[in-house]
């Protein structure tokens, strides 16, 4: 079987099942609900024409611009790099490279250099401040920045030179601590674009292209994951596949590296991510609810220790049907994470003393601003207001997503299936759903 016809195309996978088929009438009701939610939560859908025109102009003649940038950037085009994303991803804004040496690993996380194209004097920046986040509804996305960016210059497509912001991390081979962190502007040329399913295939096939690189990246990511759990990081989804684990752990490591650099090496304000901890009574309430679930128990050695470790133990030993219930019990007592201009208080769920976002500037304002601060060392004068606004708009987007999924269920649709497979409007007699 060729890779284009491999497991991801087989029946049973989202790709193999094809889109969920709905009637035109149901499609209209979904559109009406979206419009209602966008108005209620002041979420922008369409971009102003001036912003779209600026984006279109900004992506013209970029080939020469990228070549001109080589004199002032690290040329990493010969370094093996690849992206790994969902099958239906429209943009590929992060890529990995990894090396193993006698006494260290070198992990490179390359992020599309969005701040090269979107800066505080641009209309796109102003629009990003209004939106703060990309909002993902099942089968419908409202972008923070014009799609022209994500689809062209800020998409790390294979075999094309692209501007990137690279986080180069030298990790001690024994304890995976940071030996050296270097953050710089670069030019990369991705070798390949993989889906998560293709990544799993590459890991299994020793003769497949990029097998060794993916295997090394996963082995490193798996060690980082286990170390994070041992340190007390809360892992609410313990059964992710290897591909997701690889990307998640590498992005967490890069985010941590950047924010440690900003705080400890530079001592500057930034958009840090702070997650307060529940009170002892709230944790006791959650653990009591978990213990009362059928077929679930918290191992004796975990109970009474760090509550995050107790939850991790319960999740790993519980039947699959209980995962959602355990997750809900924890999330009910968890305060919301928020953006702040200083990191003190840390990130409780991750058990990081300092944390922030850097790896998704195409869809999060916090990351875009942190890219700007890293490169220029200039902190926006209204940083506190930006932190508050980003926190509020994230909450608005998540609430709209929850209400939209609830409406879908009322219409007989499975939001999870729609999210994985997408929607297609067909004649009523051919629709899966026409309620």
- Each residue's pLDDT tens digit, 225-245: 999 999 999 999 887 899 999
For position 301, what pLDDT does the model report? 62
Chain center to CA of 231: 22
- Give yes or no for residue 431 having a pLDDT over 80: no
Both 165 and 199 in one domain: the answer is yes
- Each residue's pLDDT tens digit, 342-385: 998 999 999 999 999 999 999 999 999 999 999 999 999 999 99
For 40, what's the count of Cα atoms within 13 Å in the CB-facing half-sphere?
Answer: 15
Mean pLDDT of 80-107: 93
- Write out the residue range of the structural domain in which residue 265 sits: 18-276+336-426
Confidence of residue 182 (pLDDT cuts 50, 70, 90): very high
Last residue of a domain, one of 289, 311, 334: 334
Sign of the CA dihedral with 236 first, then 240, 242, and 248 last? negative
Sign of the CA dihedral with 216 first, then 111, 185, and 364 last? negative
Q: Which residue has the higher pLDDT, 53 or 91?
A: 53
Both 260 and 301 in one domain: the answer is no
For position 343, what pLDDT does the model report? 92
For position 2, what pLDDT does the model report? 44
Is residue 297 in some structural domain?
Answer: yes
Q: What's the pTM? A: 0.92
Largest CA distance in the chain: 64
Sign of the CA dihedral with 173 first, then 176, 179, and 185 last? positive
Query: What is the spatial distance between Cα 34 and Cα 89, in angstroms, rounded to a whole number?
Result: 21
For 259, what's the count of Cα atoms within 13 Å in the CB-facing half-sphere?
Answer: 30
Both 234 and 190 in one domain: the answer is yes
- Give yes or no for residue 11 having a pLDDT over 70: no
- Each residue's pLDDT tens digit, 280-333: 999 999 999 998 998 888 876 655 678 999 999 899 888 877 889 999 999 999
For position 3, what pLDDT does the model report? 46
User: Which element (helix H / strand E) includes 83?
Assistant: strand 82-85
Is residue 435 in some structural domain?
Answer: no
- Give yes or no for residue 47 having a pLDDT over 60: yes
Is residue 9 in some structural domain?
Answer: no
Both 217 and 306 in one domain: the answer is no
Both 315 and 364 in one domain: the answer is no
Both 405 and 310 in one domain: the answer is no
Query: What is the spatial distance between Cα 286 and Cα 282, in angstroms, rounded to a whole number?
Result: 6
* Structural tokens at position 153: 């210059």
Last residue of a domain, one of 318, 334, 350: 334
Both 98 and 122 in one domain: the answer is yes
Q: Which residue has the higher pLDDT, 201 or 89?
A: 201
Domain tally for the chain? Answer: 2
For position 297, what pLDDT does the model report? 82
For position 421, what pLDDT does the model report? 87
For position 305, what pLDDT does the model report? 72
For position 238, what pLDDT does the model report? 81
Both 197 and 253 in one domain: the answer is yes
Both 286 and 416 in one domain: the answer is no
- Give yes or no for residue 434 having a pLDDT over 70: no
* Structural tokens at position 309: 């470790």
Is residue 13 in some structural domain?
Answer: no
- Cβ-based burial of 170 (10 A; exposed 0-12, middle 13-18, buried ≥19): middle
Is residue 378 in some structural domain?
Answer: yes
Query: What is the spatial distance between Cα 45 and Cα 39, in angstroms, rounded to a whole number?
Result: 10
Is residue 302 in some structural domain?
Answer: yes
Query: What is the spatial distance between Cα 393 and Cα 326, in angstroms, rounded to a whole number?
Result: 27
| Strand pairing report for 140-142 and 192-195 | unpaired
Beta strands in 149-288 (DSSP E): 161-172, 178-189, 192-195, 272-274
Last residue of a domain, one of 288, 318, 334: 334
Both 246 and 256 in one domain: the answer is yes
For position 115, what pLDDT does the model report? 97
Both 155 and 39 in one domain: the answer is yes
For position 12, what pLDDT does the model report? 52
Both 242 and 289 in one domain: the answer is no
Chain center to CA of 334: 20
Q: How many C-beta atoms lie closer than 10 Å to residue 416's C-beta?
A: 12
Find where tokens 């030298």 sit: 170
- Each residue's pLDDT tens digit, 208-229: 999 999 999 999 999 999 999 9
Using alpha carbons only, how large is the chain's radius of gyration in Å? 22
Confidence of residue 8 (pLDDT cuts 50, 70, 90): very low
Is residue 101 in some structural domain?
Answer: yes
Mean pLDDT of the chain: 92
Taking CA atoms, 227 is separated from 179, 203, 243, 422, in Å, by 17, 22, 18, 36
Query: What is the spatial distance between Cα 24 and Cα 3, in angstroms, rounded to a whole number?
Result: 35
Let me know how long the chain is.
Answer: 435
Is residue 259 in some structural domain?
Answer: yes
């Amino acid at each position: 079987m060729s890779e284009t016809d491999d497991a991801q195309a087989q029946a049973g996978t989202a790709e193999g099942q094809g889109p969920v088929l709905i009637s035109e009438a149901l499609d209209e009701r979904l559109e009406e609900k979206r419009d209602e939610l966008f108005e209620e939560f002041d979420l922008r859908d369409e971009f102003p024409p001036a912003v779209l025109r600026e984006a279109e102009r900004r992506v013209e003649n970029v080939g020469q611009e990228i070549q001109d940038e080589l004199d002032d950037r690290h040329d990493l085009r010969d370094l093996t790099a690849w992206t790994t994303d969902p099958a239906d991803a429209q943009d590929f804004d992060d890529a990995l490279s990894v090396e193993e040496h006698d006494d260290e690993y070198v992990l490179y996380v390359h992020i599309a250099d969005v701040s090269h194209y979107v800066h505080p004097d641009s209309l796109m920046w102003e629009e990003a401040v209004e939106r703060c986040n990309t909002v993902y509804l099942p089968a419908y996305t409202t972008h923070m920045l014009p799609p022209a960016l994500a689809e062209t210059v800020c998409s790390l497509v294979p075999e094309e030179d692209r501007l990137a912001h690279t986080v180069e991390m030298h990790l001690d081979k024994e304890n995976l601590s940071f030996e050296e962190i270097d953050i710089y502007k670069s030019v990369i040329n991705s070798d390949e674009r993989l889906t998560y399913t293709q990544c799993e295939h590459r890991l299994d096939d020793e003769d497949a292209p990029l097998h060794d690189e993916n295997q090394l990246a996963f082995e490193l990511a798996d060690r980082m994951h286990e170390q994070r759990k041992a340190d007390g990081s809360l892992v609410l989804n313990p059964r992710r596949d290897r591909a997701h684990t690889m990307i998640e752990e590498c992005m967490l490591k890069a985010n941590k590296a950047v924010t440690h650099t900003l705080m400890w090496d530079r001592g500057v304000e930034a958009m840090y991510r702070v997650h307060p901890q529940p009170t002892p009574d709230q944790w006791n309430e959650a653990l009591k609810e978990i213990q009362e679930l059928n077929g679930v128990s918290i191992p004796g050695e975990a109970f009474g220790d760090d509550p995050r470790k107790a939850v991790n133990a319960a999740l790993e030993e519980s039947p699959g049907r209980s995962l959602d219930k355990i997750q809900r019990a924890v999330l009910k007592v968890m305060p919301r994470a928020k953006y702040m201009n200083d990191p003190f208080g840390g990130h409780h769920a991750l058990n990081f003393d300092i944390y922030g976002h850097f790896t998704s500037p195409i869809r999060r304002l916090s990351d875009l601003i942190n890219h700007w601060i890293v490169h220029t060392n200039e902190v926006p004068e209204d940083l506190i207001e930006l932190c508050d606004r980003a926190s509020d708009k994230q909450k608005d987007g998540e609430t709209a997503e929850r209400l939209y999924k609830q409406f879908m269920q009322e219409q007989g649709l499975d939001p999870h299936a729609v999210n994985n497979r997408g929607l297609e409007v067909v004649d009523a007699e051919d629709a899966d759903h026409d309620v």
